A and B are shown apart, each in its own frame.
Chain A
Amino acid sequence: DAGVTQSPTHLIKTRGQQVTLRCSPKSGHDTVSWYQQALGQGPQFIFQYYEEEERQRGNFPDRFSGHQFPNYSSELNVNALLLGDSALYLCASSLSSYEAFFGQGTRLTVV
Chain B
Amino acid sequence: DQQVKQNSPSLSVQEGRISILNCDYTNSMFDYFLWYKKYPAEGPTFLISISSIKDKNEDGRFTVFLNKSAKHLSLHIVPSQPGDSAVYFCAASNAGGTSYGKLTFGQGTILTVHP
Say if A and B assemble together.
yes
Q: Pick from A56, A97, A102: contact of B44, CB below 8 A.
A: A102
A-B contact count (CB 8 A): 70
Given A41-B107, A42-B106, A97-B95; A56-B41 close (CB under 8 Å):
no
Q: How far is the CA of A104 from the CA of B42 in the complex (A)?
A: 4
Minimum C-beta distance from B112 to chain A (A): 16
- Report chain A residues within 8 Å CB of B99: 56
Number of A residues near B (Cβ < 8 Å) is 26
Nearest residue in B to A56 (C-beta to C-beta)? Answer: B102
Q: How far is the CA of A43 from the CA of B28 in the complex (A)?
A: 21
- Report chain A residues within 8 Å CB of B49: 98-99
What is the predominant secondary structure among interface residues of chain B facing chain A?
loop
Q: How far is the CA of A56 from the CA of B43 in the complex (A)?
A: 22
Check if A104 sits within 8 Å of B105, measured CB to CB.
no
Q: How far is the CA of A33 from the CA of B103 in the complex (A)?
A: 9
Check if B34 sits within 8 Å of A99, measured CB to CB.
yes
Q: Pick from B4, B42, B101: contact of A100, CB below 8 A.
A: B101
- Report chain A residues within 8 Å CB of B95: 97-98
Which of the four size classes fits the interface of chain B?
20 to 34
Nearest residue in A to B1 (C-beta to C-beta)? Answer: A59
Q: How far is the CA of A99 from the CA of B33 in the complex (A)?
A: 10
Check if A33 sits within 8 Å of B102, measured CB to CB.
yes
| Binary flags per residue of A83-97, CB closer than 8 Å to B gives 1, else 0 | 000000010101001
Query: Which residues, 13 to 59 on A, are CB-close (under 8 Å) to B?
Result: 31, 33, 35, 40-45, 48, 55-56, 58
Beyond A42-B107, A90-B43, A97-B100, 18 additional pairs, beta carbon < 8 A = A4-B43, A35-B103, A40-B107, A40-B108, A42-B91, A43-B44, A45-B102, A55-B100, A55-B101, A56-B98, A92-B43, A94-B101, A97-B32, A98-B93, A102-B36, A102-B43, A104-B43, A105-B42
